[in-house]
Amino acid sequence: MQQLEQALSELKQAQSNLIHSEKMSSLGQLVAGVAHEINNPINFIYGNITHTRQYANSLLELVNLYQEQYPNPIPIVQEKIESIDLDFIISDLPKILISMINGAERIFGIVKSLRIFSRHDEAEMKLANIHEGIDSTLMILQSRLNTNPSLANIQVIKEYGKLPKIECYPGQLNQVFMNIIANAIDALEDDSHSESMAANEANPCIIKISTKLLESEVVEIRISNNGPEITESVRNQLFNPFFTTKPVGKGTGLGLSIGYQIITVRHQGELQCISAPGKGAEFIIKIPINLQ
């Protein structure tokens, strides 16, 4: 019976690993492809905005020169000036072009985050910046953090310590961050739905992410939220394959299980969850700087 139970457990773990591996491989290819396709047109737009801004400045200089030399234009020209509100265009056009440049730079940042997150070409162990991985994950989840009109925005508090680059599998670590933070958002959203708007404003939803280097050359990453408590009975099963508290169709029960394997087996580290009434839940990740 013990051998059968062990064989069944190993079969479940192998199945979950296989499903996750295929899912993450497809997701990595998709994200990398989207980043590449976005990058080409935004390069074209950004490159042409610079020239457009120069041309617009030249035309505005010409208009100003014309107004200085011909302060009293003929009636038909004066009528056109008034109909198009020339003074407003002169003041607003440079602002529009600056906004377009800022928007293009924002898209460049999103593309960079997509590439960092997917790590499609970085399946092997390498030196990586943990903070870049966390920031790219937050960028991917930005829409869920800020665009739900029925809830107050979720505040993200980052307390980053000074960390060296560590030996790791960056893409896999990013998947762990994604699962934990996405679960925190789910918990805060479910909790907020049960509260009034006044209560939500008085007690805003918070996700806190902190990092520090421990004396034993181990990096500690803490991801906490002020949502509902995770009971002890649930915590005992949290990292089991296919265990989920979410309704059918919303959760597979694979995210935290695979995350546990990535941290404990692939990175020789630790992953635990602590929770208490009124204090939400906190996931603590510890991984060594150097993998043996």
Q: Tell me: the pLDDT tens digits for 212-252?
A: 999 878 999 999 999 888 888 888 888 876 667 666 556 55
Measured in whole angstroms, the distance separating CA 216 from the mean position of its chain's CA atoms is: 29
Asked whether 211 and 221 are in contact (CB, 8 A), the reply is yes
Could you give the percent of the chain with pLDDT greater than 90? 19
Q: What is the pLDDT of residues 20-61, one digit of tens each?
A: 555 555 556 666 677 777 878 888 888 888 888 889 999 999
**What pLDDT does 249 receive?**
53
Most confident of 114-118, 121-125, 153-157: 153-157
pLDDT of 194 > 60? The answer is no
**pLDDT (0 to 100) of residue 256:** 82
Token pair belonging to 224: 């906490």
pLDDT at res. 8: 75
CB 133 within 8 Å of CB 177:
yes
Least confident of 114-118, 234-238, 248-252, 255-259: 248-252
Q: Is the pLDDT of residue 151 over 70?
A: no
The answer to whether 222 and 149 have CB atoms below 8 angstroms apart is: no
Beta-bridge partner residues of 220: 212, 286
Q: Of 60 and 200, which is predicted with more confidence?
A: 60
Amino acid 224: pLDDT: 93
% the chain with pLDDT above 70 = 78
Residue 121 has a pLDDT of 46
In degrees rounded to 5, what are phi and psi of residue 144? -75, -25
* pLDDT given for residue 149 in this prediction: 56
pLDDT of 205 reads: 86
pLDDT at 270: 92
Quick one: average pLDDT of 171-191?
85
Asked if 177 and 219 count as a contact pair (C-beta separation under 8 A), the reply is no
- Residue 89, token pair as written in the block: 């265009």
Identify the pLDDT of residue 282.
Answer: 93
Range 97-112 average pLDDT: 81
What residues contact residue 234 under an 8 Å CB cut-off, 6+ apart? 245
Q: How many residues does the chain have?
A: 292
Task: Label residue 131 by pLDDT band (50, 70, 90).
Answer: very high
Q: Please give the Cα distance from 173 to 134 (Å, whole number).
A: 9
